[in-house]
């Protein structure tokens, strides 16, 4: 029977990164990491303090939601993670937090505008906010429906170019090619949200970053022509 050791190690490490980022209060956050070849993903157990987490605590499930390994109850957000991992096939990991500035935009029902190059280095345009969930969607399949409204918000967006979304009235989800990268995206999202709030407080009519400058900053870090940083 598979042990999923490497998957659980990566997932545990990413979850244990969260408290040091300042993105989470109490246990308000979780990370999942998938292994597509194995048809499985690991996720933080529900309500367990980060400093107590071990790789063996990570719950491993298949993409139908059946538990493959682990004795603890998985995060209550597991169906949302599962839906995103199924829909966005170019990603391996998902992070959900309640980071305060990003939540402020989610609660206001406003996307995070791309006002500067810090935002544009990671997100190729505004970070979208979902529509409100209906009463029916907040029923028994609430967490699965949460994933569906995120995917719906990306009908004309590339989730690899905008690796984040805000769920209306709830908070942010980010994703990436690894647990560590998805956490990095969650950190940058919160920084961008804080900068945007400060900018809009100074000038409510602040203009978005012009497309030519946005493209230069995003694509110098991403894509085949990227030249930021060192060669792999």
Report residue 187 as tokens: 């950190």
Q: Is 67 exposed, middle or buried (0-12, 13-18, 19+ CB in 10 A)?
A: middle
Report CA-CA distances (Å) from 221 to 13, 17, 133, 215. Answer: 25, 23, 35, 10
Q: Which of 5, 25, 62, 228 is catalytic?
A: 228
25 as an active site residue: the answer is no
Among residues 14, 77, 63, the alpha carbon closest in space to that of 35 is found at 63
Q: Which of 57, 121, 141, 215 is catalytic?
A: 121
CB 12 within 8 A of CB 53: yes
Q: What is the DSSP letter of 75?
A: P
CB 44 within 8 A of CB 30: yes
Paired strand residues for 172: 166
122 as an active site residue: the answer is no
Q: Which residues are catalytic?
A: 121, 228
């Amino acid at each position: 029977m598979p042990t999923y050791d490497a998957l659980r190690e990566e997932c545990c490490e990413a979850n244990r990164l969260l408290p040091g980022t300042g993105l989470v209060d109490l246990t308000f956050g979780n990370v999942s990491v998938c292994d597509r070849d194995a048809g499985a993903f690991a996720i933080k157990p529900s309500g367990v303090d980060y400093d107590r987490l071990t790789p063996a605590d990570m719950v491993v499930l298949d993409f139908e939601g059946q538990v493959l390994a682990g004795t603890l109850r998985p995060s209550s957000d597991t169906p949302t993670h599962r839906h995103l991992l199924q829909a966005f096939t170019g990603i391996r990991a998902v992070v959900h937090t309640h980071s305060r500035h990003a939540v402020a935009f989610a609660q206001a029902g406003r996307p995070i505008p791309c006002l500067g190059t810090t935002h544009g280095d990671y997100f190729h345009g505004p970070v979208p906010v979902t529509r409100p969930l209906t009463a029916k969607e907040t029923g028994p399949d609430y967490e699965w429906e949460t994933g569906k409204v995120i995917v719906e918000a990306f009908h004309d967006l590339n989730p690899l170019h905008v690796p984040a979304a805000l769920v209306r009235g709830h908070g942010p989800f980010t994703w990436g090619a690894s647990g560590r990268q998805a956490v990095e995206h969650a950190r940058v999202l919160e920084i961008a949200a804080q900068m945007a709030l400060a900018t809009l407080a100074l000038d409510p009519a602040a203009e978005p970053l012009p497309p030519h400058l946005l493209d230069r900053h995003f694509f110098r870090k991403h894509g085949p022509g990227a030249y930021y940083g060192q060669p792999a």
